[in-house]
């Protein structure tokens, strides 16, 4: 008789909104509730697929939460699994270690929360003997590998290990219990259920080592469809790995080239077409898009000046697409230069634009002034709000480049006379 389980991690229940751009109340409410709805969908999948267990590889919570509403919600979902005869195996991740509600939470007896010392739970499913190994970390930092703290495989059993780890490291994630994928393969477990990195990955090798990614993104940097991993252990000890979709709201970057647009109507129609194409290939219930407008167009200045009008028209158009939201519009279009159109254009604003792009914004004094302003603003903000400036010097300099470029275009947009707005 096969043994089947669902593997997930990094739910970050009730995590706060991470994007300051989510000022639309409907979008904010949608994203604010999405992590809970994703957990409900995971439980639904477990029940519908009639699995034997749910494995959670850390970070059920999102840090120093004190709300018992989160705890009660989690307990209610675990109770649903308990009543369906489904066991749950949980380890604490770095965010769970910070949570104050973790030690106060009362869960059904079918839930095993592994402690700070590695141990294994032995199960029998038909002719299959299984051993599920887990280890939680009590502190938010684990600079050393945890692998050696795990027991060696139980002989004659299917061994499943649960670990919260950054493996060899990943962009945007703190180094947490680092280890090599090759070492995990060499440990001898049949399946490693990992957590911590929010992007799905299967580490190739002799064994099955999977990072499932988070089941619900929270901003555009956690974009794309999210899933959980459904694993079937057959009687012959072979493993079948599948994915099941879980994300309620899917974040996507939507890029639209406006080079061919000559009128405002054409611009809006191109944008609607671009968003519609992404909506068509989005399987999640909701699409939350970050719109990026590119290309050289004579409407570039007007797009910047009338950004509020553009946003209103886009909102109206996407209503017809259904459950589609634009959380931010990035305008990086440029004005066609005289060289690009092959003629001399007697337009002082155009000439000023070329001067700014080719000379002024590259001057050391201008760049230093902008850099000082950004640093002062960043340093005045609380630590959790400083992420906009990047994680390293390269990212910070890229931000300065962006501000210089977009700022000059925005300024020129306000100099463009009304008479030029034909069409």
CATH classification at residue 152: 3.60.21.10
Q: Do residues 287 and 396 both lie within one domain? A: no
Cα–Cα distances in Å, from 289 out to 271, 282, 338? 12, 11, 34
Q: Do residues 128 and 210 both lie within one domain? A: yes
* pLDDT at res. 423: 43
Q: How many domains does the chain have?
A: 3
Distance CA 52, CA 270 (A): 49
Q: Are 318 and 275 in contact (CB under 8 A)?
A: yes
The verdict on residue 360 lying in a domain is yes
Q: Do residues 181 and 126 both lie within one domain? A: yes
* pLDDT at res. 421: 46
The verdict on residue 267 lying in a domain is yes
Cα–Cα distances in Å, from 355 out to 4, 48, 302, 393? 65, 64, 20, 28
Bridge partners (DSSP) of residue 129 are 124
Residue ranges of the chain whose pLDDT lies below 50? 20, 98, 341-344, 419-423
Decide which of 205, 226, 245 is a domain's last residue.
245
Q: Do residues 141 and 277 both lie within one domain? A: no
Q: Do residues 239 and 253 both lie within one domain? A: no
* pLDDT at res. 422: 40
* pLDDT at res. 343: 46
Bridge partners (DSSP) of residue 294 are 257
Token digits for 273? 């077409």
Q: Do residues 258 and 309 both lie within one domain? A: yes
The verdict on residue 339 lying in a domain is no
* pLDDT at res. 330: 94
Decide which of 185, 218, 245 is a domain's last residue.
245
Q: Do residues 224 and 354 both lie within one domain? A: no
* pLDDT at res. 72: 87
In this structure, the strands spanning 119-125 and 111-113 are unpaired
The verdict on residue 277 lying in a domain is yes
Decide which of 227, 245, 263 is a domain's last residue.
245
- Name the CA radius of gyration of the chain, rounded: 26
The verdict on residue 132 lying in a domain is yes
* pLDDT at res. 219: 87
Report DSSP state, residue 296: B
Q: Do residues 37 and 111 both lie within one domain? A: yes
Within 13 Å and on the Cβ side, how many CA atoms surround 231? 25
Q: Do residues 162 and 260 both lie within one domain? A: no
Q: Do residues 362 and 257 both lie within one domain? A: no
Q: Do residues 384 and 309 both lie within one domain? A: no
- The boundaries of the domain holding residue 384 are 346-423
The verdict on residue 89 lying in a domain is yes
The verdict on residue 340 lying in a domain is no
* pLDDT at res. 228: 98
Q: Do residues 148 and 20 both lie within one domain? A: yes
């Amino acid at each position: 008789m096969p043994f089947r389980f669902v593997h997930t991690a990094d739910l970050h229940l009730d995590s706060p909104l991470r994007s300051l751009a989510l000022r639309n109340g409907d979008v904010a409410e949608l994203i604010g509730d999405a992590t809970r709805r994703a957990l409900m969908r995971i439980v639904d999948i477990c029940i519908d697929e009639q699995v034997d267990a749910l494995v959670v590889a850390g970070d059920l919570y999102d840090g120093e939460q004190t709300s018992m509403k989160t705890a009660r919600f989690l307990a209610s979902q675990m109770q649903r699994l308990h009543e369906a005869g489904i066991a749950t195996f949980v380890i604490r991740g770095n965010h769970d270690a910070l949570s104050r509600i973790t030690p106060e939470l009362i869960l059904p007896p079918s839930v095993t929360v592994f402690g700070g010392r590695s141990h294994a739970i032995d199960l029998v499913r038909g002719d299959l003997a299984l051993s599920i190994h887990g280890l939680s970390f009590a502190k938010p930092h684990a600079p050393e590998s945890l692998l050696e703290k795990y027991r060696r495989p139980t002989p004659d059993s299917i061994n499943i290990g649960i670990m919260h780890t950054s493996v060899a490291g990943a962009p945007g994630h703190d180094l947490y219990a680092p280890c090599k994928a090759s070492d995990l393969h060499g440990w001898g477990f049949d399946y490693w259920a990992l957590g911590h990195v929010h992007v799905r990955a299967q580490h190739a090798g002799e064994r099955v080592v999977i990072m499932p990614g988070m089941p619900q993104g929270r901003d555009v940097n956690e974009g794309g469809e999210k899933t959980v991993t459904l694993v079937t252990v057959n009687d012959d000890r072979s493993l079948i790995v599948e994915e099941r979709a879980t994300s309620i709201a899917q974040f996507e970057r939507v890029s639209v080239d406006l080079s061919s647009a000559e009128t405002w109507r054409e611009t809006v129609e191109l944008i609607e077409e671009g968003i519609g194409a992404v909506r068509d290939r989005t399987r999640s219930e909701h699409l939350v898009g970050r719109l990026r407008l590119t290309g050289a167009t004579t409407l570039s200045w007007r797009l910047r000046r009338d950004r509020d009008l553009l946003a209103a028209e886009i909102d109206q158009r996407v209503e017809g697409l259904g459950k589609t939201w634009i959380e931010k519009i990035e305008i990086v279009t440029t004005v066609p230069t005289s060289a690009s159109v092959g003629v001399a254009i007697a337009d002082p604003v155009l000439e000023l634009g070329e001067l700014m792009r080719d000379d002024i914004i590259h001057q050391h004094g201008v760049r230093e002034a902008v850099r000082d302003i950004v640093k002062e603003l960043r340093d005045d903000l609380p630590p959790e709000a400083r992420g906009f400036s990047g994680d390293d010097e390269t990212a910070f300099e890229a931000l300065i480049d962006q501000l210089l470029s977009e700022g000059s275009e925005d300024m020129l947009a306000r100099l463009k006379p009304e008479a030029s707005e034909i069409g």
